[in-house]
Amino acid sequence: MEPVAKLRGIRQGYRRRDVIVDLDLDIRHGVLGLLGPNGAGKTTLLRTLATVVPPKRGAITISGVPVDSRRATMEARRRIGYLPQHFGYYPGFTVYDFVRYSAWLRGVPAREADAATREAIGFVDLTDRSRAKLKSLSGGMIRRCGIASAIVGRPQLVLLDEPTVGLDPAQRLEFRSLVRKLKDDRVAVVLSTHLVEDVAAVCDDVVVMAEGRLVWRGDPEALREVAAPDAEGDSPLERGYMSVLAAQGAVA
């Protein structure tokens, strides 16, 4: 089956500095965990996939359509939901306004936008807070609003950048169940994280990035298996991850 997203020969960076080099990646249905130390290029990769910034070089295909023109970019954005790590919001907006506004930004047709907004708010279980102002919500609820804004209009690809940072353990469990629901809905999810436990809990597949390159790909079980006997870490998965980084000379 055609991947939901296909990246070929991607080079990306800021001004003259390249932070992603010659990256190839296929993304299919399921949850793909993106692990890597600070500065590995995870956010840059997600921003590139989200079509926020065009790559310096290389090709992106979303649902079989090359993203190679302004029109194709606008079309791709309708299929992609992106939750940046630090997403902005107006504290005076209600939950409903915030998600409805995201629907408009993503080009959800006006006649579908109200139903799509209600659906997304229901998905994150905030229906009874629809009329609450964002400034009155807890951090965990704000994150759930962020997820609702990323999934409104049912995108095929959902990109979540370190979504569990700052969540308490109960909120993290809630978040994981939301990601599992997305997977059941046949959405492709890319989850950038520093937390190996998030990967263990929800990911089907894992990519490890270091210094702008993909240095390892496989399922969580395979990552556990590459753990070196003397690797540091609190769990087999963490030891596997640290072993991959150590092999690259890129220990976090």
Ligand X SMILES: Nc1ncnc2c1ncn2[C@@H]1O[C@H](COP(=O)(O)OP(=O)(O)OP(=O)(O)O)[C@@H](O)[C@H]1O
Instruction: Give me the residues that bind ligand X (CB under 6 A), please.
Output: 14, 19, 36, 38-44
- Whether the Cβ atoms of residue 48 and residue 19 lie closer than 8 Å to each other: no
Collapsed DSSP state (helix, strand, coil) of residue 125: coil
Q: How far apart are CA 8 and CA 170, in angstroms?
A: 39
CA torsion sign for 35, 203, 223, 231 is: positive
| Residues contacting residue 218 through CB under 8 Å, at least 6 positions apart | 205, 206
Residue 209 forms beta bridges with which residues? 214
Compute the least distance from the CB of residue 83 to ligand X, in Å: 14
Report the residue number, 38 or 69, with the smaller CB distance to ligand X.
Answer: 38
Residue number, 50 or 113, with CB nearest to ligand X: 50
Residue listed under structure tokens 């095929």? 156
Identify which of residues 36 and 153 has a Cβ nearer to ligand X in the complex: 36
CB nearer to ligand X: give 10 or 40. 40
Quote the least distance from Cβ 51 to ligand X, whole Å: 16
Please give the Cα distance from 38 to 42 (Å, whole number).
9
The least distance separating ligand X from the CB of residue 19, rounded to whole angstroms, comes to 4
B/e letters for 164-193, b = 16+ CB within 10 Å, e = fewer, are beebeeebbebbbebbeebbeeebbbbbbb
Give the residue from 220, 230, 228 showing the smallest Cα distance to 244: 228
Asked if residues 34 and 19 have their Cβ atoms less than 8 Å apart, the reply is no
- Closer residue to ligand X in complex, CB, 40/158: 40
CB of 187 to ligand X, least distance (A): 22
- Minimum gap (Å) between residue 58 Cβ and ligand X: 16
Closest approach of ligand X to the CB of residue 125, in Å: 28
Q: Which is nearer to ligand X, 80 or 113 (CB)?
A: 80
Residue in the structure block whose two tokens are 């090359």 = 66
Q: How many CB atoms lie within 10 A of CB 135?
A: 11
Compare residues 47 and 180 and give the one whose CB is closer to ligand X. Answer: 47
Q: How far is the CB of 27 from ligand X (least distance, A)?
A: 17
